[in-house]
Amino acid sequence: MTKVFDVVVIGAGPAGYVAAIRAAQLGKTVACIDDWKNHDGSLSYGGTCLNAGCIPSKALLESSELVHRAKHEFAAHGIGTGSITVDLAKMQERKAAIVEQLTGGIASLLKANKITALQGRGRLLKDRKVEFTPHDGKAQMLSGKDVILASGSTPMELKQAPFDGKNTVDSWGALEFDAVPKRLGVIGGGVIGLELGSVWQRLGAEVVVLEAMDDFLFMIDRQIAKDTQRQFKRQGLDIRLGAKVSGAKTGKSGIKLQYADSKGEQEVEVDKVVVCVGRQPNSADLFDEACGVKTDARGFVEVDNECRTGVANVWAIGDLVRGPMLAHKGSEEGVMVADLIAGEFSEVNYNTIPSVIYTAPEIAWVGKTEEEVKKSGRAYKVGTFSFAANGRAKAMEMATGLVKIIAAKNDDEILGVHIAGPLAGELVAEAVLAMEFSASAEDLQRTIHGHPTLSEALHEAALAVDNRAIHAINK
């Protein structure tokens, strides 16, 4: 017997569960299928983000940053701490408790919104039929007037250094170490690699990051990249650019990573390896070919700007489709699709999706880099302000980094905001709001900011766009 729903969602990560909840709020009958299974065999909702990505990594980043501050900053505040000890087991317990609370919260929200939550494998068939196979049962058939594909993504494996689940691991495995590695190799110097490298370096590991690209954090503004690269180097992160890994050999003394850079063939020996070379859409066996959904060469489901797949009433969102693999991007697409299904107007402004790297300093940005604006040919102006001149940052002993604002020369529209410094991930929200309303640099100049606050750095950077900064020398 086929169970019929208004909406069937495959995936309960930040894209899927948000879409399910929003559809239920709009009066739809909803089923949400998720096949997440933890290392211990337990089941939970929330996908990679809550179980093995955003949330657990931020818990360990917070704990490790406190260790770093206790060792290197507390003395400046007049606080004597004596010998600093690290109880990694306790840190891991705390991380696990946070994950359990939040994933349990998702289950409660699904129940409260009267969503039929199903744990197992979902697969789309022709005519919006969905085959649901529980982890411990026989396949059942569901049908949706609309189907939303939201199965997320998985870490990419590197054939030169395949995962073994113990010494060579993916990003999830790197969050589960039960001891601090003496020597840690991180293959990939992107967002995930830098965050994980920062965690274990702060806790005492010697960390070497091997990045194949010649440019550090190629996706961010070059001025911000250069500033943060210097700071990471001061912290002790050994970041080697243009380092293309060719092999990994395990021996008695560790793992020898072979790579080539501008100097030729190189080798470095480590005890553990974390591979962070990107993620791929989890589209394998997600649907039968007969259903008509198409994927591109990389496995991303092809969709339009409103996440329609081209098959009537079948949608795809989140990491499964084009665009940045960010939880909040997927969530917004989930809301948009649910609204559109219900006949409501909705859209996602892909030009104002913020990105954050939760290192210290934090890095956050929205909009275009200076390099992108220059390439577009549009005349522009730039204002920067250093946290070294910000009173709150000085009081926090975190006066490093800067704010950079790029605005159009003709109409003063803000085109991009880039931040490296304390709580950058929180500060960028003001920039996102400003750009959502097509604000000008002058609008930020005229916005009164509390004193002393970190947000004053945005105010001063906006003033600097027109050489009006008060607390910095205008050039």
Residue 469 confidence class, pLDDT cut points 50, 70, 90: very high
Q: Give me the pLDDT at residue 136, please.
A: 87
> Beta partners for 260?
244, 265
Find the distance separating the first CA and the last CA of the chain, reported in whole Å: 73
Same fold, 168-277 and 352-465: no
- Give the C-alpha separation, 331 to 15, whole Å: 4
| pLDDT of 206 over the 90 cut | yes
- Give the C-alpha separation, 380 to 405, whole Å: 10
Q: Give me the pLDDT at residue 82, please.
A: 87
Residue 1 confidence class, pLDDT cut points 50, 70, 90: confident
Q: Give me the pLDDT at residue 8, please.
A: 98
> Beta partners for 131?
123, 141
Average pLDDT for the chain? 97
Q: Give me the pLDDT at residue 103, please.
A: 98
Given 39, 72, 135, 451, the catalytic residue? 451
Q: What is the mean pLDDT of residues 134-152?
A: 95
**Domain extent listing, the chain:** 2-155+280-348, 168-277, 352-465
Q: What is the mean pLDDT of residues 318-333?
A: 98
Contact 152, 15 (CB under 8 A): yes
**Residue range 403-445, pLDDT digits in tens:** 999 999 999 999 999 999 999 999 999 999 999 999 999 999 9
Superfamily of domain 352-465: FAD/NAD-linked reductase, C-terminal dimerisation domain (3.30.390.30)
| pLDDT of 167 over the 90 cut | yes
Q: Give me the pLDDT at residue 153, please.
A: 98
**Residue range 265-285, pLDDT digits in tens:** 999 999 999 999 999 999 999
- Pairing of the two strands 2-10 and 140-149: parallel
Superfamily of domain 168-277: FAD/NAD(P)-binding domain (3.50.50.60)
- Give the C-alpha separation, 173 to 165, whole Å: 7
Domain 2-155+280-348 is of which CATH architecture? 3-Layer(bba) Sandwich (3.50)
| pLDDT of 453 over the 90 cut | yes
> Beta partners for 258?
247, 267
Specify whether 39 is catalytic. no
**Residue range 326-357, pLDDT digits in tens:** 999 999 999 999 999 999 999 999 999 999 99
